[in-house]
Amino acid sequence: MDKNTIQQALAAVPHPVSGAGLLAAGAVAKVAYCDGYASVRLNGGGLNPAQRKAVEDAARAAVIRAAGAEPLRDVHVEVTDDAPDAPLPEPKRAAPTAAKAEPAPAGGPVNARHIIAVGAGKGGVGKSSIAVNLAVGLARKGHAVGLMDGDIYGPSLPTMLGLGAIEAAVRGRTIEPFLVHNVKAMTIGALVDPDKPLVWRGPMAHGAFKQLVEQTNWGELDYLVIDLPPGTGDVALTMAQLLRLSGAVVVCTPQKVAQDDAVRAAKMFQQLGIEVLGVVENMSWFVGDDGKEYDIFGRGGAQRMAQRLGVPFLGAVPITMALRENSDRGDPTANFTDPSPAGRRLAAHLAALVNNVENQAALASVRQGRTRPTLTIS
């Protein structure tokens, strides 16, 4: 059972007025499916109450029939007052015999000049915070930026970008990304119940990541930043198979235990043929309300680790009260605009990180033969 199966089922349900299938009539506004939960929103503009009830019941029955023997935990059908959209093409049905998959084009399914993965060997090092602020910083420099939450099991973007009150828009088989802080963002957290744990095996995580990559309407991007889950598991392997990356950014805190796992993450990327653009030391120090700096986890450990690995050191980012507050309320832009002395220092560290990643991505593209250096004479 998946979204495509539900769409095929709805395509066979006649619209009460036009007689065409609901999909062809433009009455299907949203289809979502996850782990036994199916959700359908229909545009019921122009229908009387009896017609609405009839089409709601018919749609629910069609979804249940399409599931066959596969158990469904819930089928939610909502009929709104919205007018039908322009007719959508029906989804392609599976061929009776399996066809050999075509190899992905060199750029992969995303039209982006640079695709950058942000990873870490362990959780709790602020990887998502670095990914979010990197994406926002690149967007503030005028780049077209996408941000994908690849942390399938523990998505953080709904909170850190303030997506809680925004509903995902699905058109046919295409998911429209959220446009927040001048960044196009997509996360599995916006497509499932926020309180529901995703108890998925590897193939299910693979499928979810693949769907976010291939079915999100990213458009043309300068940068796609991917926030990976911690560790060296299935999602990183899926990403390496689907996408041609400019490189990866490894996030680490200063203490030795974090460095050990970060080294494993860096070597994983290298083993997958993904260039390591550099290492970021997050939570490098804490800035108190008195402006004093405290080296809670030590300082400089990640920089020394980068030197041992022979990869660039991209910068150090402190932890401040404002950074935590801005992350909790979903306003990362405030990290770049706070006029206080501590805010200006944080913004300077983030700007340096963004510049370093931008430069390393450009150099990686030259080394990989995707771009050529240019000389401008003025």
Radius of gyration of the chain (CA): 23
Residues 6+ apart with CB under 8 A from 346: 287, 317, 318, 320, 322, 323, 335, 338
Q: What is the pLDDT of residue 250?
A: 94
pLDDT band, very low/low/confident/very high, at 89 (cuts 50, 70, 90): very low
Is 0.75 topped by the overall pTM?
no
3-state SS class at 285: strand
- Asked if CATH classification 3.30.300.130 holds for the domain at 3-80, the reply, yes or no, is yes
At residue 43, what are phi and psi to the nearest 5 degrees?
-85, 110
Average pLDDT over residues 29-37: 78
* Mean pLDDT, rounded, of the chain: 82
Helix (H, G, I), strand (E, B) or coil at 99: coil
Contact 262, 302 (CB under 8 A): yes
Locate the DSSP E strands across 191-340: 220-227, 247-252, 276-287, 293-294, 313-320
In angstroms, the CA 20 to CA 273 distance is 50
pLDDT at 274 over 80: yes
pLDDT of residue 103: 35
Query: Cα–Cα distance between 37 and 76 in angstroms, integer?
Result: 8
* Terminal alpha carbon distance of the chain: 60
CATH of domain 111-367: 3.40.50.300
The alpha-helical segments, DSSP class H, found in 216-320 are 234-242, 256-271, 301-309
Contact (Cβ atoms closer than 8 angstroms) between residue 330 and residue 131 = no
Give the model's confidence band at 325: pLDDT under 50 very low, under 70 low, under 90 confident, else very high: very high
Residue bearing tokens 């926030």: 227
pLDDT mean over 118-137:
90
The confidence score (pLDDT) of residue 199 equals 60
Q: What is the pLDDT of residue 225?
A: 96
pLDDT of residue 172: 77
Question: What is the share, in percent, of the chain residues with pLDDT greater than 90?
Answer: 30
The full set of domain ranges for the chain reads: 3-80, 111-367
Domains 3-80 and 111-367 share a fold: no
pLDDT band at 101 (very low <50, low <70, confident <90, very high): very low
Of residues 336 and 341, the one with the higher pLDDT is: 336
Q: State the greatest distance between any 2 C-alpha atoms of the chain, in Å, as a whole number.
A: 71
For residues 186 and 147, give the distance between their C-alpha atoms in angstroms, rounded to a whole number: 7
Q: What is the pLDDT of residue 224?
A: 96
81, with CB counted inside 10 A (0-12, 13-18, 19+), is: exposed
Read off the pLDDT band of 232 (50, 70, 90).
Answer: low
CA nearest 225: which of 334, 163, 149, 311?
Answer: 149
107 or 4, which is more confident: 4
Q: What's the pLDDT tens digit per position in 209-226?
A: 888 888 899 999 999 999
Helix 202-215 with 234-242: angle, nearest 10 deg: 40
Run of H or E residues at 111: strand 111-119
